[in-house]
Amino acid sequence: MIHIVAYANCAVNVIIGCVVKPVLICKICGYRAREVVFVMLRCLLVMVLAVPLPLVASRFINSFSMAGFIALGAICVVCTALSVLAVGLDRQMRAMVLGFARKNTRFWIPF
């Protein structure tokens, strides 16, 4: 019974996040539906690119140990950051993020 409630809650949250919020953004803030769909598709692409490597790594790394948990978390963060840099940001925003990273790190970033 608890599983049914959890799945129903998940379905409601998906509907709110993918249907209701974009409609409200278009009506209240004046965005066009095309812009909202473009951003949602880009987010989906980032997710599709960020998921496979951590999923494969989770098959080989014991996430129940502290070291495995930290390693898997680091892999997830790195994959997500790289996929956001690769497809999630436009050229101007990518340059700004990389400039900030170069300025605020003591080591050389090779990209």
Evaluate if residue 72 carries a pLDDT over 90.
yes
- Span 33-43, average pLDDT: 93
For the whole model, what pTM was predicted?
0.74
Please tell me the distance from the alpha carbon of residue 14 to that of residue 66, in angstroms, as a whole number.
Answer: 32
Alpha helices in the chain (DSSP H): 2-15, 21-24, 33-50, 52-60, 66-83, 91-103
CB 42 within 8 A of CB 89: no
Confidence of residue 37 (pLDDT cuts 50, 70, 90): very high
Evaluate if residue 105 carries a pLDDT over 70.
yes
Nearest by Cα to 72 from 59, 85, 89: 59
- Span 23-51, average pLDDT: 93
Q: State the pLDDT at residue 109.
A: 59
